[in-house]
Structure formats: C-alpha cells, structure tokens
Amino acid sequence: MGISDSLNDVVTTKLSFAINWGRANSVWPMPFGVACCAIEMMAAFMPKYDASRFGSEVLKFSPRQSDLLIVSGRISLKMMPVLQRIWEQMPEPKWCISMGACASSGGVFDTYALIQGIDQFIPVDAYMPGCPPRPEAFVDALMAIQEKARHGKASSDNFVSEDASKDPSLSPAFRSPDAYYKC
C-alpha cells in the first residue's frame, strides 16, 4: 500500500471521545490502603494480575497527580478528614473505588470509631464486596471505572448539589465526621 492509498483512509472522531478514550486507558491510582484489603490491592498491581494492561501501573502516591482513589481498608472517624482532604486535592475528573466490606459499610466493625461507609463523605464509583475481595474483583472494578471514564462520567459530578456549590459546608465532601457521628 503506497502513501497515497493510506492518505485516503480518514478517521473522524469527536474531541471529547478522544479525550475520554485517553483518560480511560491511563487511569492513575492513588492508593489509600489502611488494612488487610491493601494486601490484595498490592497483589492486583503485581505481574500476575498486571494493572499495566489497563494503563494503570503508575501509583503516584500524590493526589495532585492521580485520578483514581482506591480506599482499601477500614476508615476511622479520625482518618476520614484526611481522606476528604486527599479527595479534594485530586483534580477533576476523578473516580473512587471502595475496596472491601469495611470501606463500603464498616464491615464487621459496627463501632462508633469507624466510618460505616465512605460514601457518606466522598462519592464512590465502584464498590467491591468481600472480606477481602480478590485481585480479580479489583480488575473488575478498574474496568468499571474505565467504562465510566470512556463515557465521561464520574460520581463526583453529582455529589455537590447546587445548594452545596453556594455553601460548601452543605456538601458531604465537607461534612465533619465528628459532627455527623453523634455518639
């Protein structure tokens, strides 16, 4: 095939499609591993499960350079403001995976000291059931995030209501865990 033949092949697309395609295939995770679930998260990044296949092998450990927050493990009342701060430091568009029963619902720890579901304070795009979930479940959640990114969607889009845009203190993202959990 000569150069003139290849010039006849024209591909057209929308800019938003191309940007979303690029984002979906280069999701950079910010791992927030605080308990046993984090071991399974680490396994998901090892060669056997190979997150590189999805363009997600770059763990930045810096919220400003990440667009996927992975919360794996139980989150205490004292730790939640730190997690909220990290979430706020991440640039839009951004996504969040709640890994395991503890992050999603408090798991077996139905106590006053632990957050009974991080989605009371930050938006979650994919929940992973299990105690702990296996790395295959993590790959599944990552693919769900990619699907959202491909369609230009993120839960954080709807998380801040119109009222909260005027007054950030009304947003769950600025909710104080201490005040919200009255013992």
The full DSSP string for the chain is --HHHHHT------HHHHHHHHHHT---EEEEE-STHHHHHHHHTSTTT-GGGGT-----S-GGG-SEEEEES--BTTTHHHHHHHHHHSPSS-EEEEEHHHHHH-TT--STTB-S-GGGTS--SEEE-SSSPPHHHHHHHHHHHHHHHHTT--THHHHS-HHHHH-GGGSGGG--HHHHS--
Considering only 24, 101, 126, 145, the residue that binds ligand SF4 (CB under 6 A) is: 101
Query: In this structure, which amino acid lies at residue 94?
Result: K
Nearer to ligand SF4, 103 or 122 (CB): 103
Q: Is residue 27 a contact residue for ligand SF4 (CB under 6 A)?
A: no
| Residue choice 29, 31, 117, 132 for contact with ligand SF4 (CB under 6 A) | 132
107 vs 177, which CB is nearer to ligand SF4?
107
Of the residues 80, 102, 118, 145, which one makes contact with ligand SF4 according to CB under 6 A = 102
Query: Is residue 35 involved in binding ligand SF4 (CB under 6 A)?
Result: yes
* Shortest distance in whole angstroms from residue 117 CB to ligand SF4: 12
Q: Which is nearer to ligand SF4, 102 or 124 (CB)?
A: 102
Nearest Cα to Cα of residue 136 among 12, 46, 31: 46
Binding test (CB under 6 A) with ligand SF4, winner from 63, 73, 123, 177:
73
Options 3-11, 87-95, 99-107, 158-166: segment touching ligand SF4 (CB under 6 A): 99-107
Which residues make up the interface to ligand SF4 (CB under 6 A)?
Answer: 35-37, 73-74, 100-102, 107, 131-132
